[in-house]
Amino acid sequence: NAGVTQTPKFRILKIGQSMTLQCTQDMNHNYMYWYRQDPGMGLKLIYYSVGAGITDKGEVPNGYNVSRSTTEDFPLRLELAAPSQTSVYFCASSSYNRDSPLHFGNGTRLTVT
Protein backbone atom coordinates (compact mmCIF):
# COMPACT_ATOMS: atom_id res chain seq x y z
CA ASN A 1 0.00 0.00 0.00
CA ALA A 2 1.85 3.08 -1.29
CA GLY A 3 -0.36 5.75 0.35
CA VAL A 4 0.53 9.24 -0.90
CA THR A 5 3.44 9.45 -3.34
CA GLN A 6 5.18 12.70 -4.22
CA THR A 7 7.78 13.34 -6.90
CA PRO A 8 10.42 14.66 -7.12
CA LYS A 9 12.04 14.52 -3.67
CA PHE A 10 14.38 17.42 -4.36
CA ARG A 11 14.53 20.13 -7.02
CA ILE A 12 16.53 23.27 -7.65
CA LEU A 13 14.94 25.89 -9.89
CA LYS A 14 16.21 29.15 -11.28
CA ILE A 15 14.08 32.26 -10.83
CA GLY A 16 11.39 32.40 -13.49
CA GLN A 17 11.42 28.70 -14.32
CA SER A 18 8.31 26.58 -13.99
CA MET A 19 7.72 23.08 -12.73
CA THR A 20 5.02 20.66 -11.62
CA LEU A 21 5.11 18.79 -8.34
CA GLN A 22 3.37 15.45 -8.72
CA CYS A 23 1.14 13.82 -6.10
CA THR A 24 -0.82 10.61 -6.33
CA GLN A 25 -2.72 8.58 -3.74
CA ASP A 26 -4.08 5.04 -3.88
CA MET A 27 -6.48 5.19 -0.92
CA ASN A 28 -9.46 6.46 -2.94
CA HIS A 29 -9.59 9.58 -0.79
CA ASN A 30 -11.84 12.39 -1.95
CA TYR A 31 -9.88 15.18 -0.30
CA MET A 32 -6.39 16.20 -1.27
CA TYR A 33 -4.23 19.10 -0.11
CA TRP A 34 -1.01 20.90 -0.84
CA TYR A 35 0.92 22.43 2.05
CA ARG A 36 4.19 24.26 2.27
CA GLN A 37 6.42 24.27 5.33
CA ASP A 38 9.05 26.93 5.79
CA PRO A 39 11.86 26.42 8.35
CA GLY A 40 10.60 26.70 11.91
CA MET A 41 7.04 27.25 10.73
CA GLY A 42 3.88 25.24 10.69
CA LEU A 43 2.24 23.98 7.54
CA LYS A 44 0.37 26.48 5.39
CA LEU A 45 -2.38 25.31 3.04
CA ILE A 46 -1.83 26.30 -0.60
CA TYR A 47 -4.74 24.61 -2.41
CA TYR A 48 -7.14 21.82 -1.73
CA SER A 49 -9.58 19.63 -3.62
CA VAL A 50 -12.77 17.92 -2.45
CA GLY A 51 -13.02 15.66 -5.50
CA ALA A 52 -12.15 15.30 -9.16
CA GLY A 53 -12.77 18.57 -10.99
CA ILE A 54 -13.17 20.63 -7.81
CA THR A 55 -10.36 22.73 -6.35
CA ASP A 56 -10.16 25.81 -4.15
CA LYS A 57 -7.61 28.18 -2.69
CA GLY A 58 -6.11 27.77 0.72
CA GLU A 59 -4.24 30.29 2.84
CA VAL A 60 -1.26 30.96 0.53
CA PRO A 61 -2.28 30.27 -3.12
CA ASN A 62 -0.43 33.07 -4.92
CA GLY A 63 2.13 31.81 -7.43
CA TYR A 64 0.62 28.32 -7.66
CA ASN A 65 -2.01 26.48 -9.67
CA VAL A 66 -3.59 23.05 -9.33
CA SER A 67 -5.82 20.69 -11.24
CA ARG A 68 -7.65 17.51 -10.28
CA SER A 69 -8.71 15.46 -13.27
CA THR A 70 -8.80 12.14 -11.40
CA THR A 71 -9.40 11.03 -7.81
CA GLU A 72 -5.80 9.80 -7.58
CA ASP A 73 -3.76 12.74 -8.86
CA PHE A 74 -3.38 16.32 -7.64
CA PRO A 75 -0.41 18.08 -9.28
CA LEU A 76 0.83 21.50 -8.11
CA ARG A 77 2.15 23.90 -10.75
CA LEU A 78 4.65 26.71 -10.16
CA GLU A 79 4.61 29.00 -13.20
CA LEU A 80 7.27 31.65 -12.46
CA ALA A 81 9.45 30.42 -9.61
CA ALA A 82 10.53 33.02 -7.04
CA PRO A 83 12.97 32.72 -4.10
CA SER A 84 9.98 33.10 -1.73
CA GLN A 85 8.77 29.71 -2.96
CA THR A 86 11.81 27.95 -1.52
CA SER A 87 10.19 25.54 0.91
CA VAL A 88 9.26 21.94 1.61
CA TYR A 89 6.01 20.97 -0.07
CA PHE A 90 3.74 18.28 1.30
CA CYS A 91 0.81 16.68 -0.43
CA ALA A 92 -1.81 15.06 1.79
CA SER A 93 -5.11 13.28 1.46
CA SER A 94 -8.00 12.45 3.76
CA SER A 95 -11.27 10.58 3.51
CA TYR A 96 -14.79 11.93 3.57
CA ASN A 97 -15.31 13.65 6.89
CA ARG A 98 -13.70 16.59 8.59
CA ASP A 99 -12.33 14.54 11.45
CA SER A 100 -10.37 12.21 9.20
CA PRO A 101 -6.61 12.30 9.68
CA LEU A 102 -4.33 13.63 6.99
CA HIS A 103 -2.08 11.14 5.22
CA PHE A 104 1.06 12.92 4.04
CA GLY A 105 3.48 12.20 1.25
CA ASN A 106 7.21 12.31 1.93
CA GLY A 107 7.59 15.87 0.72
CA THR A 108 9.44 17.76 -2.02
CA ARG A 109 12.30 20.05 -1.02
CA LEU A 110 12.36 22.93 -3.49
CA THR A 111 15.06 25.58 -3.74
CA VAL A 112 14.69 28.60 -6.02
CA THR A 113 17.87 30.55 -6.71
**By CB under 8 A, residue 98 contacts other proteins:** yes
Toward other proteins, which CB reaches closer, 58 or 63? Answer: 58
Please tell me whether residue 31 binds other proteins under the rule CB under 8 A: yes
Task: Looking at residues 42 to 61 of the shown chain, list those that interact with other proteins (rule: CB under 8 A).
Answer: 42-45, 48, 50, 56, 58
Which of 20, 22, 30, 65 contacts other proteins by CB under 8 A?
Answer: 30
State yes or no: residue 94 binds other proteins (CB under 8 A). yes
Tell me if 89 contacts other proteins by CB under 8 A.
no
As measured in angstroms, the least distance from the Cβ of 62 to other proteins is 17
Cα pseudo-dihedral 41, 87, 66, 70, rounded to 10: -90
SS3 track for the chain: CCCEEEECCEEEECCCCCEEEEEEECCCCCEEEEEEECCCCCEEEEEEEEECCEEEECCCCCCEEECCCCCCECCEEECCCCHHHCEEEEEEEECCCCCCCCEECCCEEEEEC
Binding site for other proteins (CB under 8 A): 30-31, 33, 40-45, 48, 50, 56, 58, 90, 92, 94-102, 104-107
